[in-house]
Structure 1
Amino acid sequence: MSDGVELTATLTSPDENWEQPRPTIVEFSPYGNDSQTFVPDENYNRVLVQIRGTGDSKGSFDALGPVNQADVPEMLTWICSQPWNDGNVGIHGFSASAIIIYNSMWQEFPDCVKTMTLRSGTFELYRDLLVPGGVFNFAPGAAVLAMIGGPAMLQWPDRFDDPASWPDWFAGMFTSGLEVGFAHPTLDEFWQQRGFRGDANGLPIMAVNGIFDVESRGAFEGYQALRDNGSQLVLKGGHDGHPAGTDGGQADMQAWYDYHLRGVDNGITDQPRVRMQMSDGDRESFIQDGDFVYREFEDYPVPGTVWESLALDASKADAADPVANDGSLTLGEAREAGTQVYEPLVTNPLVTDVPTASLVNNGGAHLLTGSLPGIADPDGLVVMPGLSYTTAPLATDVLAAGPPTLEVRLGSLNAETPIWAMISDVDTDGTAHPLTVGRLNSSFPDVVEEKSLKDASGQIVQPYGDFGEKTLYASPPTSPLLYQVELWPIANRFEEGHRIRLDILGASAFSTLSATGGLLPNTVEIGGGSGSRLLFPVLPESDLSTALPTDDPADDGDTGTDTDTNTDDTDQSGTSAVQTGTTAEAEDQAGDASLTQSGGLPRAGLPVTLSTLVLGVALIAAGGLALTRRLTPATVGDLVRDRLGR
């Protein structure tokens, strides 16, 4: 590099004819030798660049920050000038190798770079992966550091010829772990430098991911930011694996490069810009059995999507037996108001942390959890402390795609508490299948309105949280606040007879070391003028008012908000504007509401919490050990099968 630091780059040619110029696909990886994640056909050269301070490359790793970013255009310029490149370069990235590209797009790339495929990478490292909602996400952070540090340790002998590089390598690894793990709880300059900061190149990208991916938010946000470049969004697989019998988007990416780098007229740019493999009620059957619903759209958010307003309701749903409050999700106004209480204790991560659990399960953990009754079932052996709200059985199928949002009026006796929300598909036998989660540290009650996604009427349907400064609760708070909690996007068909369920509970054990939330109760106000509701994205081919007919004669059916239709109606759905992050007005019922329901721990409190904590730590340790031994998810799965004799 221009500062004298040497980076290791490996050229692979399909026939070892190094003199033949070909289009070249480049990947910038921190995961060491042989870590490329896309192998094109025989018409391409490919180059693996080991990021500064990782693998065999010298220098100091700065957690995909400005120093690592500055190397990207310089290395691309060098590649473009090589005799084995024909003047056409594409960039591929998966996970960290996609993140470094999103982080680097603010810089100008050489003209020979024509396109990119970015799979399962964060658009903003803070809010998409490591501190979502202002809650430290310990397990993925530890796994990433293990995946980067492990190969570097294994390749340590390659550094024997340059002992002077050792201090830089060690300092980079140590400080990166400290910085991303604990030193920056707010979205400060450190994190701002490790997210998308603009597009200086106007290149078309194919954003590829899986709906259950640990970094699923990034692909959706990346597509929206770069859609005007001719970009596409393909939901066909990521860290979470891909449905059995499918290729995880490999054919789409090959066709994308063929068109943009070789000029092959294959029709890839004529396809609908958004292509989704949607789950059909359950993550396990989606991946293991290949059960999915396929849809194609011209944009995302899907035009015509309606964010239906489902009120949190104290009336009984008769659907969540072990959860004490058994509340309802009601289209329109809640039938019964009240104040409900739950303890924000640590919860089973295999249930309540869907994105991270999908990563763990892709490594073979599902073979273990499937052998332990109830361990990954919200109503099974490991009971969740929290509050549950469930719809009536659906009269017709409902397809949902987009980011749900929970608006909840919540108070706490803790100085701060993680607000953790989960949506599940409840099948006809009452089994709840978790689909997505949302997280918000109560110390970040505000949103950045101009960066939030709004519907045509101007209502926020995907809040962009303001994580610049913490606002701790007063002691005790004068009254609850109305929070807007962003949930990761959902793409699922809820079949006729199934139910939609929302749980509000304590943080997953995968986030335990950063935000336990304390042991004092949280209160949730529902019904009346509380404003507590779930904004649920329903695709235009479905009608939730038909699937959930209301028995309220005053309900005119206008219960949602549409991305295309501007309406001035002020109806009973609670869609009028609310002030976010301010103390609730002193409504009569707000100050005097009695504790009408209680969530709490219906069977086992502290033992359940301790067991989930131990489970989480064990899984993290096992994952870290596997990664440092250079085991891929597939080989971890093979080891588990061997242990179980399968």
Structure 2
Amino acid sequence: MDTDRTVLRDGMRISFDVPIEMDDGLVLYADVFAPVDEGRYPVLMTMGPYAKGLAFQEGWKFNWDKLVRDFPEVAEGTSNAYANWETVDPEKWVPDGYVCVRVDSRGAGRSAGVLDPWSPRETRDYYECIEWAGVQPWSNGKVGLSGISYYAMNQWHVAALQPPHLTAMLVQEGAADFYREFCRHGGILSRFLGGWFQGLIKQVQHGLGDNGPVSRVTGEPVAGPETLTPEELARNRVDPYETAVEHPLLDSFSTDRTADLSKVVTPFLSCGNWGGQGLHPRGNIEGYLGAASTQKWLEMHGDTHSSGFYTDYGVALQKRFFGHFLQGADTGWEKQPPVALRVRHPGEVFVDRGEQEWPLARTRWTKFFLNAADRTLGVDFTPGDAVSYPTTGDGVTFLSAPLAEQTEITGPVAAKLFLSSDTTDADVFACLQVFDPDGNEITFQGSNDPRTPIGLGWLRASHRKLDPRRSLPYRPWHTHDEIQPLTPGEPVELDIEIWPTCLVIPPGCRIGLLIRGRDYDNGAEATPGARYPLRGIGPFRHDDERDRPADVFGGTNVLHFADGQESYLLLPVIPG
């Protein structure tokens, strides 16, 4: 450690701006939180672009206030002085014999260089940091990775490089497929990437210095110490959203930022959120299924993006996992089921249940056919007339009969449609809904929005090409490697992936499938303090005119129901 920057504070030995030299000579900087007593301890590490010195309470005040209001336990037993977005609170880990290391990634916070999120260079930096931590005098040689979102996504990346000192990792709400889960949903450009980069990443780019925020702990600029000109800052960053606009197909831009899961062999716990529609839950599940690790576990929960990580439930789960792998302690982890589900009920009620696999082996894959005449979902298909809808309107909803008994839906969902357009392309937005006996939609606290539907899916019709090797009846896999334009008026067959979900639906409720030509919108009023409108999809909008020009995507779509055009919704019904 750099002893000139080391202090004893709040029961920890804290070293600020510890230098870590990369293989190309550039130096990254880390904050190291260690026990006061000298010794060798397991390491918990994060590396990312959010600035290690920026307080959770300042950079993400809306999220912090909601988190501690809903779960006061988060702020208890700690000074909260070192709270940092999406990373562990060291005051809750160092007393248990861990060293917590936070690294500012290249070009972010206190680390100089070119800011290029999820790039191969950044992943190599993470490898170098892990190997550095593994041989420090305060390290026992076992390095664990932990964190939410960005700090989870890049775990998949670096684990594929198999750094020798990487011992275990906890992937909390972390996407695994840059194109399908982060950049383009079903081939449709997601606005989230742009808002994320402009609103969060550029605000802590290295070189903002005196023009950026100041650390409440050190009193120094979190994105310094140097202050660069706007021109210099622009030269030192790669804008992933503007690059994504220029790359509508899945090419090297996305593959370079997507981990090869077949090379991930590290033991891990993957924790996903049922309400994370638009970003992470698909990656947590696909990562669990696709990784080569022989020791791997999946946990699925609900509520907000942060609560599952910071609450007593989340911290206890993490400590059982890391205690087993990093400390060799008897935590009972050997009894952990391969799949742990917090089964969702209306009213934000969750019931814990262990399972042995995903999808659940006892799933009854049930087709609900779309019928045109009465706009219903039924067990039988009846040919009927075509149904048209303007793509700028509210779309078409198909409803089941009231459920005769309580019904659990847990797993991946898919829909098959036969659709034509009056132009050469069409974007399909599919929304899985549940309505109470009075016809009111039942929504749920999502990871990024307080009123989300039960499930969402997207597909650009010109991206309908499937990979037959990877497609499954309940999880179609689109190649996104070529454009197949529509012939106006001629229907095509579309297989739409609706992301995995979970809900126990009370009797008397109805299941709905909404098909429309634009994003779901529940019409909710603006929420004070929120970074973006909270109308059911959070920040995951798809309305960039460069990607969705009105002359192509602003016309009329038609759903077809003739013989041989059996449209259906495939649901994973779990026997009671």
Residue 476 of structure 2 aligns with which residue? Answer: 463
2:388 to 308, 333, 341: 341
Quick one: structure 1 residues 50 and 37, their matched pair in 2 at CA, closer, same or farther if it must change by over 3 Å? same
What value does the CA root-mean-square deviation take over the aligned residues? 2.4
Q: Report the AA paired with residue 518 of structure 1.
A: F
Tell me what 1:37 maps to: 87
> How many angstroms does 1:402 deviate by?
1.1
Cα deviations by residue, 1:478-518 (Å, 9 ceiling, x for unpaired): x2011000011111111111111100012228211143663
Mapped partners of 1:188, 1:239: distance in 2: 32
Any gaps of 5 or more consecutive residues in structure 1? 317-326, 346-383, 455-459, 543-646
AA at the equivalent of 1:24: V
Are the structure 2 counterparts of residues 394 and 177 from structure 1 closer, same or farther at C-alpha, using a change threshold of 3 Å?
Answer: closer
Call closer, same or farther: CA 1:391–1:127 in 2, change over 3 Å: same
Structure 2 contact 30–104 (Cα < 8 Å) conserved:
yes
Q: Distance in 1 between the 2:289 and 2:187 partners? A: 23
**Structure 1 residues 447-462: aligned runs within 5 Å:** 447-452=466-471, 454=472, 460-462=473-475
Distance 1:65 1:3 in 2: 15
SS in 2 for 1:535: strand
Distance 1:167 1:99 in 2: 30
2:5 maps to what in 1?
A: none
Given residue 246 of structure 2, which amino acid in structure 1 is its aligned partner?
Answer: A
Indicate the SS of the match to 1:103: helix
Cα offset, 1:38, TM superposition: 1.7
Cα distance per residue 1:371-394 (max 9 Å; x no partner): xxxxxxxxxxxxx61111111011
The corresponding residue for 1:409 is 418
Specify the SS of the correspondent of 1:491.
Answer: strand
What secondary structure sits across from 1:99 in the alignment?
helix
Question: Which runs of structure 2 are paired with 1:252-267 in the superposition (5 Å)?
Answer: 252-267=317-332
* 1:115 maps to which of 139, 164, 168: 168
* Correspondence for 2:209: 156
Are the aligned partners of 2:433 and 2:513 in contact in 1 as well (CA < 8 Å)? yes
Aligned match of 1:54 in 88, 104, 108?
Answer: 108
The CA distance in 1 between the partners of 2:310 and 2:148, in whole Å, is 21
- Residue of structure 1 equivalent to 2:345: 280
Partner of 2:431: 422
1:398 pairs, out of 384, 400, 407, with: 407
**Amino acid corresponding to residue 466 of structure 1 in structure 2:** T
Q: Which amino acid aligns with 1:124?
A: D
Distance in 1 (alpha carbons) for counterparts of 2:224 and 2:363? 58
Written as runs of structure 1 = structure 2, the 5 A alignment for 1:138-287 is 138-152=191-205, 156-157=209-210, 169-180=233-244, 182-200=245-263, 202-213=265-276, 214-226=279-291, 228-237=293-302, 240-242=305-307, 247=312, 249-281=314-346, 285-286=347-348
Partner in structure 2 of residue 137 of structure 1: 190
Cα separation, 1, equivalents of 2:42 and 2:566 = 56
Counterpart of 2:368 in structure 1 is: 310
Structure-1 separation of matches of 2:135 and 2:233 = 29
Q: Would you say 1:518 and 2:571 are equivalent positions? A: no
Aligned to 1:440: 459
Q: Which amino acid aligns with 2:124?
A: A
Q: 2:149 aligns with which of 73, 95, 101?
A: 95
SS in 2 for 1:461: coil
- Residue 74 of structure 2 is matched in structure 1 by none
Which residue does 2:571 correspond to in 1? Answer: 536
Shift of the alpha carbon at 1:447? 1.0
- Structure 1 pair 244–186 and aligned structure 2 pair: CA distance change class (3 A): closer
Q: Secondary structure at the match of 1:402?
A: strand
Mark the CA change 1:298 to 1:527 in structure 2 (over 3 Å): closer, same or farther: farther
Q: Which residue does the alignment assign to 2:34? A: 13
* Cα deviations by residue, 1:236-261 (Å, 9 ceiling, x for unpaired): 35754548996462211111000000
- Please give the secondary structure, in 2, of the residue aligned with 1:489: strand
Contact 1:305–1:537 (Cα < 8 Å) also in 2: yes
Q: What letter matches 1:469 in structure 2? A: E
1:285-314 Cα shifts (integer Å, max 9, x gaps): 32xxxx223322111111121221111012
| CA–CA distance in structure 1, aligned partners of residues 31 and 353 of structure 2 | 39
Per-residue CA deviation, residues 346-393 of structure 1 (Å, 9 max, x unaligned), is xxxxxxxxxxxxxxxxxxxxxxxxxxxxxxxxxxxxxx6111111101
Q: The residue matched to 1:429 in structure 2 has which SS?
A: coil
Distance 1:185-1:248 versus aligned 2 partners, 3 A rule: farther
Deviation at 1:30, TM superposition (A): 1.0
What CA distance in whole angstroms lies between the structure 2 residues aligned with 1:25 and 1:75?
A: 12
Shift of 1:531: 2.2
Indicate if the aligned counterparts of 1:423 and 1:435 stay in contact, CA closer than 8 A: yes
3-state SS of paired residue (1:496): coil
Contact 1:482–1:531 (8 Å) recurs in 2: no
Residues of 1 paired with 2:455 and 2:363: CA distance?
18
Residue of structure 1 in register with 2:58 after alignment: none
The equivalent of 1:500 in structure 2 is 511
Tell me if structure 2 keeps the 8 A contact 1:25–1:92: yes
CA distance in 1, matches of 2:565, 2:262: 41
Residue 82 of structure 1 and its aligned partner are, at CA, apart by 0.5
Q: Structure 1 counterpart of 2:270, which letter?
A: A
Higher relative helix content = 1
Q: Which amino acid aligns with 2:99?
A: N
Structure 1 101/437 Cα, relative in aligned 2: closer, same or farther at 3 Å?
Answer: same
Q: CA deviation at 1:315?
A: 3.5
**Alpha-carbon distance in 2 for matches of 1:28, 1:239:** 22
Task: State the distance in 2 between where 1:292 and 1:105 align.
Answer: 32
CA contact (8 A) 1:273 1:297 kept: yes
1:24 aligns with 2:43: yes
Q: Which has the higher strand share?
A: 2
Q: How does 1:562-577 map to 2 (within 5 A)?
A: none
d(CA) in 1 for partners of 2:369, 2:361: 24
Paired residue type of 2:157: N
Hey, what's the Cα distance between the residues in 2 that align with 1:32 and 1:216? 25
In 1, the alpha carbon distance for the partners of 2:262 and 2:125 equals: 17
Q: Which letter maps to 2:477?
A: Y
Q: Secondary structure at the match of 1:184?
A: coil
| Distance of aligned partners of 1:512 and 1:166 in 2 relative to their CA distance in 1, 3 Å threshold | closer
Residues in 2 aligned to 1:169 and 1:473: alpha-carbon distance in whole angstroms: 43
Whole-angstrom distance in 2 between the partners of 1:199 and 1:167: 41
Amino acid at match of 2:173: S
- Out of 315, 321, 329, the residue aligned to residue 377 of structure 2 is 329
Deviation at 1:230, TM superposition (A): 1.5
Where structure 2 has 5 or more consecutive residues not aligned to the other structure, the ranges are 1-21, 54-83, 211-220, 443-452, 522-540
Equivalent pair of 2:111/2:206 in contact (CA under 8 Å): no
| Matching of residue 298 in structure 1 with residue 348 in structure 2 | no
Whether contact under 8 Å (1:334, 1:527) holds in the other structure is no
Matched, 1:64 2:118: yes
CA spacing shift, 1:116–1:168, aligned 2, 3 Å: farther
- Name the CA distance, whole Å, in 2 between partners of 1:138 and 1:60: 23
- Displacement of 1:415 in angstroms is 2.2
Relative to structure 1, the CA distance from residue 528 to residue 297 in structure 2 (aligned partners, 3 Å threshold; closer, same or farther) is same
Aligned residues of 1:313 and 1:527 also touching (Cα < 8 A): no
Deviation sequence 1:203-231 (CA, Å, 0-9, x none): 11100121011321111111111375211
- Change in CA separation of 1:241 and 1:531 when aligned onto 2, cut-off 3 Å: farther
Query: Could you tell me whether the CA contact under 8 Å between 1:119 and 1:238 is conserved in 2?
Result: no
Task: Determine the C-alpha separation between the residues in 2 that align with 1:499 and 1:243.
Answer: 29
- Distance in structure 2 (CA, Å) of the matches to 1:148 and 1:307: 42
Give, as a single letter, the amino acid of the residue that structure 2 aligns with 1:342. Y
Equivalent residue number for residue 374 of structure 1? none
TM-score normalised by structure 2 residue count: 0.77
Q: Which residue number in structure 1 is paired with residue 492 of structure 2?
A: 481
